[in-house]
Amino acid sequence: MKRREIRKHMFRMLYCMEFYNTEDREEQVELYLMKVRHQEPFLEEPFGQEEPSGEAGIEAVTDEEIRYLKDRFCLIRDRLVEIDELISQTASGWKLNRMGMVDRNLLRLAAYEIRYDEEIPDKVAINEAVELAKTYGGEASGSFVNGVLAKLMEQEA
């Protein structure tokens, strides 16, 4: 599975997580991963949009890849309070609950990669988040995500 595919799944899982109570989230993650494993139709055109540039929908994944997705999601979820605090400090003038859900969850994913994932270069994390923001977010999402993450990267240096 390519890193872009992993990011799409992580973004979707983080996004969906916001719709459920804490006690229901684990079950929803399992349901999501089951749908991924069995190539359920809702994944072919995420958020009702076609993939950019004729890119194919997300492909079926192996059991090993499912475990990787779940483990990675849990790493992000377990640090969510720290990540949210980091974003709040960086995005001065913006409260998390006032950000669009797409922007907020892409920032969470990229902030995790910048702060905690040594394997992913910061510039790659930012670029991927901006591209996903352009695809799934509003008109200003790409520039908003880019600005917050650029500031975060400066603070991390």
| Residue 57 pLDDT > 80 | no
Q: 46-55, pLDDT tens digit by residue?
A: 454 544 444 4
Q: pLDDT band for 59, please (50, 70, 90 cuts).
A: low
The string of DSSP codes covering 122-146 is HHHHHHHHHHHHHHHS-TTHHHHHH
Task: Delimit the domains of the chain by residue range.
Answer: 3-156
Query: What local confidence, expressed as pLDDT, does residue 156 receive?
Result: 79
Query: What local confidence, expressed as pLDDT, does residue 54 receive?
Result: 40
Please give the residue that has the higher pLDDT: either 130 or 20: 130
For 92, residues 6+ apart whose C-beta sits below 8 A from its C-beta are: none
CATH 1.10.940.10 describes domain 3-156: yes
Using CA atoms, how far residue 115 sits from 11, 13, 34, 107, in Å, is 17, 20, 29, 12
Query: What local confidence, expressed as pLDDT, does residue 25 receive?
Result: 81
13: nearest Cα among 127, 34, 88, 82: 34
DSSP-derived letter for residue 45 is: S
Q: 63-114, pLDDT tens digit by residue?
A: 899 999 999 999 999 999 999 999 999 998 899 999 999 999 999 999 999 9
The widest CA-to-CA distance across the chain, in whole angstroms, is: 43
Q: Are 144 and 133 in contact (CB under 8 A)?
A: yes
Report residue 114 as tokens.
Answer: 């910048």
DSSP-derived letter for residue 90 is: H
**Could you give the residue ranges of the DSSP H alpha helices within the chain?**
3-17, 22-37, 63-78, 80-90, 101-116, 122-136, 141-156
Query: What local confidence, expressed as pLDDT, does residue 42 receive?
Result: 52
Q: Which long-range contacts (CB under 8 A, 24 or more apart) does 72-75 make?
A: 72/6, 72/10, 73/10, 73/13, 73/14, 73/29, 75/112, 75/116
Q: What is the pTM of this model?
A: 0.84
